[in-house]
Amino acid sequence: MLTARLTKTLRGDAVTSFLLDVDLEVSPGITILFGPSGAGKSTLLDCIAGLTQPDTGQIAVNGQTFFASAKKINLPPQRRQVSYVFQSLALFPHMSAEANVTYGLSNLPEQERRARVFEILQMFRVEQLRTRKPREISGGEQQRVALARSLVTLPRVLLLDEPLTGLDAELKASIIDDLRIWNAAHKIPILYVTHSREEVDALGERVLALVHGKIVSEGTPREVLDAPRRKRLAQAAGFENLLSGTVLDLREEDGVMRVHLADGTPEIEVPLGHAAPGDRVRIAVRAGDILLGTEPPRGLSARNILEGKILSLERRGTLVAARVDCGVAFTVHVTLGAARTLRLAAEKRVWLVLKTHSCHFVED
Amino acid sequence: MNVEALLLSLRLALCVSAILFVLGMPLAYWLAYSRRRWKFLVEALVALPLVLPPTVLGFYMLLAMGPHGPLGKFWYAAFGHGLAFTFAGLVIASVLYSFPFAVQPLVASFETVDRKLLDASAILGANRMRTFRCVILPLSVPGIITALVLSFAHTLGEFGVVLMVGGNLPGVTRTVSIDIYDHVQSLDYAGASHTALFLLLISFAVLSAVYGINRRASRRAWPTWSVK
């Protein structure tokens, strides 16, 4: 169990400096630290690893104190037995994969060292690359070697700072599986930093959302990311539509409230939030949660139907992102096939359908 | 050609490079990684010989080494003779004069080692010494070669400082550059040109050999993926 309660002022200029102020417990297993870039995720990991000193607070693993400002304890990274895989991996470029993995085992007798290295290289499927230098192997293989290097020392905590950036989903999944298998046997707390929604879904388990230095929510990926309560988290979690509006009235018996977005646009119905009539609020809607029709829809359970006009279409991979003007502009994702069948084009008249519960009330 | 002067110059350059290598390494490490506020003062001090005329440096060295100077007194107490106009005095003055040529390439190459590699090393349990030996040094090979060669070449070619503190004693302080100067002074252009040409060729050969090796070493040490 890793516990960290700390504050640290992150210095930038007068505008960008902010306070990292967290209190977290990480149990054995993978915990995801999710948040937009610049939220303080890497600094938090640096504090846990001992690369940066917090201003105040306390960090402990399994009862051993790594840092305690009150007692003036601050163990150097060498004595924490915390492993850390950076985004850049930081493999030693002048050493073979095997030498990289062996680096952290200098205190062991030769024979045991070899056995451990061989075992971990095999486990991460890179034993055939032993003699190669980092630049002679692929990105995915480098990531595997970096993981092997940080786990061969049998650390008490593993910190991963976006270690799988730039890999395709399949490769990511296979590396994550190997990591899970390793941890099934060793059961250490793993703190995994990412700002990729995909990785969060692939890793499952527990998520801590860090926004602007504070942990704003925690729970399962669904709880944290499907109902983001903060604007910056909503943006990071892939909510393409962030709308501002004014609360018209609350209908508590129906569990909804009506929000007026802009003049000339019908009000929309969203789940009840902490707001009073007249308050300015923000509503987040995923582009993929909006239905788009070319005729006025009828007989639907959805309460929010907005009429508008396509402003532009942009192909993104297998998706088409449509900008639609309904008094306010929405982004809507449709499949390539749908865009073809509906003959979507700029200037075309369309209707957007928003389910009440796809509209999320967010705070700034 | 004056073989004695040439051998003396080579001996001087080798001694100075060796001493600078030993002294320059820890100083460069400190300059590259220290967070002291007054570090800039030390940097300025190290760079001073770059801008000072050699005669100024030589003048102060001469004063320091003279019978009443601190260095001269110390030397006399320790070895029973003075320091000015001796080979040892020449070595000390040359070390100071070539200091920036050894230290600056070392600092520059230590600084280009990715900080994340140093963090990774610490996290894997290595202390500073091991990080220096196993990570910083191997990745700084081009800078180390440059430092060695520059201190060697710079000492080989120095004139003003030698003239000030060494004078012109054959076999003791009469280096190649002094010898050439001597020939020119006595209008013996033929004698001067032999030595001068030889020095020119030898310097060019040494420098091109080193830059050649350095090119290959730098390719080896800096794969593109690790440079961010």
Are residues A77 and B122, on separate chains, in Cβ contact within 8 Å? Answer: yes
* A-chain residues near B138 (CB < 8 A): 94
CB-based contact A78 B126, cutoff 8 Å: yes
DSSP B28-88: HHHHHH---TTHHHHHHHHHHHHHS-HHHHHHHHHHHHSTTSHHHHHHHHHHSS--TTSHH
C-beta neighbour count of A308 within 10 angstroms = 22
What sign has the CA pseudo-torsion A77, A78, A80, A83? positive
Domains and CATH numbers, chain A: 2-236 (3.40.50.300), 241-362 (2.40.50.100)
Q: Mean pLDDT throughout A84-102?
A: 94
- Which of B123, B138, B226 is facing A82, going by the closest CB pair? B123
| Helix, strand, coil percentages in chain B from 3-state DSSP, rounded to 5 | 80, 0, 20
User: Which value, to the nearest 10 degrees, does the dihedral of the CA atoms of residues B24, B25, B26, B30 take?
Assistant: 90
Q: Output the DSSP codes for A8-36.
A: EEE--STTT-EEEEEEEEE-SEEEEEE--
Model confidence at B36: pLDDT above 60: yes
Query: For residue A18, what are the β-bridge partners?
Result: A10
pLDDT of residue B226: 40
What average pLDDT does chain A have?
A: 87
- The answer to whether the Cβ–Cβ distance between A93 and B121 falls below 8 Å is no
Task: Judge whether residue B217 has pLDDT over 50.
Answer: yes
Show the domains of chain B with their CATH numbers. 3-32+50-221 (1.10.3720.10)
- How crowded is residue B80: how many other Cβ atoms within 10 Å of its Cβ? 7
Residue A281, pLDDT > 90, answer: no
Residue B186 forms contact with A (CB below 8 Å): no
Handedness of CA B204, B205, B208, B213 (dihedral sign): negative
Q: What is the pLDDT, as a whole number, of residue B124?
A: 95
- Average pLDDT over every residue of A38-46: 89
Q: By the 8 A CB rule, do A74 and B120 touch?
A: no
Cβ–Cβ below 8 Å for B127 and A78: yes
pLDDT digits (tens, 9 = 90+) for A5-21: 999 988 776 667 788 99
Does the interface ipTM go beyond 0.85?
Answer: no
Distance CA(B176)–CA(B196), nearest Å, equals 8
Assign A223 a pLDDT band (cuts: 50, 70, 90): confident
Paired sense of beta strands A304-316 and A349-354, if any: antiparallel
The whole-angstrom separation of Cα A163 and Cα A158 is 12
Give A102's pLDDT tier (boundaries 50, 70, 90).
very high
User: Band of the pLDDT at B228, cuts 50, 70, 90?
Assistant: very low
Task: Give every CB contact of residue B83 below 8 A, 6+ residues apart in sequence.
Answer: B65, B71, B72, B75, B76, B89, B92
How many residues does the structure list for chain B? 228
Is A266's pLDDT higher than 80? no
Q: Tokens for B58?
A: 């030589």
B114 touches chain A (CB under 8 A): yes
Decide if B228 and A88 are in contact by the 8 Å CB cutoff.
yes
CB A7 within 8 A of CB A20: yes
Q: What pLDDT, on the 0 to 100 scale, is given for residue B73?
A: 87
A90 Cα to chain B: minimum distance (Å): 5
Average pLDDT over residues B26-47: 92
By the 8 A CB rule, do A91 and A85 touch?
no
Mean pLDDT of B136-158: 89
The predicted pLDDT at position B80 comes to 82
pLDDT at residue B62 in the model: 87
Where residue B1 falls among pLDDT bands split at 50, 70, 90? low
Mean per-residue pLDDT over chain B, rounded? 86
B155-184: per-residue pLDDT in tens?
888 888 888 888 777 878 888 888 888 888
**What's the token pair of residue A102?**
């062996």
Which residue has better confidence, B104 or A316? B104
Query: What mean pLDDT is predicted for residues A204-216?
Result: 84
Q: How much is the pLDDT for B218?
A: 59
Q: What is the spatial distance between Cα A336 and Cα A344, in angstroms, rounded to a whole number?
A: 10
A211-228: average pLDDT? 78
Whole-number percent of chain A with pLDDT over 70: 95
Highest mean pLDDT among A140-144, A210-214, A236-240, B167-171: A140-144
Which strands sit side by side in the sheet containing A349-354, from one edge to the other? Answer: A290-293, A349-354, A304-316, A319-325, A329-335
* Nearest in space to A58 (alpha carbons), one of A38, A46, A73: A73
Note the pLDDT tens digit of each residue in A166-209.
787 788 888 888 888 899 899 999 999 987 777 787 776 788 98
Q: Which residues have CB under 8 Å from A58's CB, separation 6+?
A: A3, A4, A5, A6, A65, A67, A68, A69, A70
Residue B121 contacts A where some CB pair is shorter than 8 Å: yes
Question: Of the segments A229-238, A266-275, A341-350, B130-139, which one has the largest average pLDDT value?
Answer: B130-139
Per-residue model confidence (pLDDT) at position B223: 47
pLDDT band per the 50, 70, 90 thresholds, residue A219: confident
> What is the model's pLDDT at position A148?
95
Q: Say if residue A351's pLDDT is above 50.
A: yes
- Please tell me the pTM assigned to this model: 0.74
